[in-house]
Amino acid sequence: MKIRTRLTLWYTAILFAILVVISALSYSLLRWSLNKDVDDSLLAVGQIVRDVGGIPGPAPLGGAEALVREILGPEFYDKFFRLVDPDGQPRARSPFFAGAAASLSPAALRNARRGAPTFETVALRDGAPARVITLPVLRAGRVVEIVQVGIPLARAHQTLAHYLRTLLILVPVGLLLAAAGGALTARAALARIDTMSRTARRISAEDLAERLARDGTGDELDHLAETLNEMLARLEAAFAEIRRFSADAAHELRTPLTALRGGLEVALRAERTAPQYRAALASSLDDVERLVRLAEDLLLLTRSSAGAEAKAAPVDLEPLVLDVLDTALRLAAGGAVTVRLADAFPRAGDAQLTVTGEAMALRRALLNLVENALKYTPAGGTVELALAREGAEGVIRVRDTGVGIAAADLERIFDPFVRLDAARARATGGAGLGLAIARSIVAAHGGTLAGESAPGRGSVFTIRLPLA
């Protein structure tokens, strides 16, 4: 069922319930106030009839009634009365007191003898209901006579029936009008959603540039459009990045493949001696190794940026740093770059710095930083590893005294396939994936990796990881 229909139905159902309750309340209020009016007027008339007509002795009723009629005027209209003696025997009655039970009801008689008035609803001879008050006339504390005044209820009942008929017509009409109005309102409010969903359907992965129209009212739908547009912008950026990445990766793969093909073609062009074949194969093997490394790096980057299978285990940072230091010492062996630990490296007895994550991945990230530091630090320089606790974070720093990085490039170098011109030479530079891999591994561990540098004087790369 459409939201529009559901909204209208709910709205109508609630309105119906409200109308029913209000109708019932107003109907009973009207009935109550009509009854009260009848009773009040009966009491008033009864008291006057009692005072005027309730005279002991054989006073002719006709005279009394005429007198009462004169006193009361219109108030007496359609009322009737009769006089009853204290035993309950009717003595005189107005001609209208046609049908009511010949004698007093036992309850009314009982009340009258106690001096209290009684209101009753009785049936007239033709079955029509009437309201009757029974009032005792007291003389010196003794009931000498009983006055009964009645009024047919037909008019009050007619008024009620009329009101009920009006309700029965007005409520459904009101409901119909409200339902129609509700449906129109709902349709108008939801029309924009229709438009939005049509636009959204048009937007595909190929064309993420389109945006949902906003009307600037700042209402919920405007807000929704804004949220969806932000999401589209993020998707567009992500898709663009993926496209760029694929293009860069293809380009990066093509270079060694072209070299490989060239080498093989040259080797096959003529008969070669065994040593020549061996040389050609060895050079091909270099290219293949580069391809394998590239493929591995790509895989690693994809895995770590997808955050997949990060096996969470406690990782002690100190042995990890010492292990990488070991590797760095071996890599630097024979060169003129000094590799060492910072003075402030935690000593035995210091609290352990433990993070949660995958030791192999973290080692890879740190090793990438250290390899870079060694690569871009000329002879005589120093590469220094530091580990410290800063607040709730474990901080690893790789400091070098190498060529440094221009401020404008400092963020760029973390993007995949970015190599700075100075380091473009394939001999030293990798594919430009090292820092991208390191950053995505650290990010997958909830940490950050940032670089600072003074061109010509060296760089510091800082890994911050939340401690377990």
Q: Which is nearer to ligand ADP, 17 or 406 (CB)?
A: 406
CA 60/CA 41 separation, integer angstroms: 24
**Minimum CB distance to ligand ADP smaller for 108 or for 405:** 405
User: Residue 275 or residue 380: which is nearer to ligand ADP going by CB?
Assistant: 380
* E strand or H helix that includes residue 193: helix 154-202
Q: What is the signed CA dihedral for 288, 289, 295, 297, rounded to 10 degrees?
A: -160
Q: Which is nearer to ligand ADP, 111 or 440 (CB)?
A: 440
For ligand ADP, the closer CB: 263 or 402 = 402
Say how many C-beta atoms besides its own lie within 10 A of residue 382's C-beta: 15
| Nearest-approach distance from CB 433 to ligand ADP, in angstroms | 6
Smallest distance from ligand ADP to CB 370, Å:
9
For 378, left (φ over 0), alpha (ψ -120 to 50), or beta?
A: beta
Beta-sheet pairing, 448-454 with 458-466:
antiparallel
Q: Dihedral angle at the C-alpha atoms of 81, 84, 90, 93, nearest 10 degrees? A: -20
DSSP symbol at 346: P
**Closest distance to ligand ADP from the beta carbon of 443 (Å):** 15
Question: Which residues are CB-neighbours of 363 under 8 A, at least 6 positions away?
Answer: 320, 323, 324
Between CA 118 and CA 130, with CA 124 as vertex, the angle to 5 degrees is 45
Gap between the Cα atoms of 114 and 110, Å rounded: 6
With beta carbons less than 8 A apart as the criterion, state whether 414 and 435 touch.
yes
Q: Of 224 and 410, which has the nearer Cβ to ligand ADP?
A: 410
Q: CB burial class (10 A; 0-12, 13-18, 19+) of residue 142?
A: exposed
Shortest distance (Å) from residue 197 CB to ligand ADP? 43
> Nearest approach, Cβ of 195 to ligand ADP (angstroms)?
46
Closest contact distance (angstroms) between CB of 193 and ligand ADP is: 46
CB of 353 to ligand ADP, least distance (A): 23
Closest CB 444 distance from ligand ADP, rounded Å? 17
Contacting residues toward ligand ADP, per CB under 6 A: 368, 372-373, 376, 400, 402-405, 413, 418-420, 423, 429-436, 459
Lay out the sheet containing 129-139: strands in order across.
Answer: 90-93, 80-84, 142-152, 129-139, 118-123
Q: With respect to ligand ADP, which residue has the nearer C-beta, 431 or 463? A: 431
Whose Cβ is closer to ligand ADP: residue 298's or residue 413's?
413
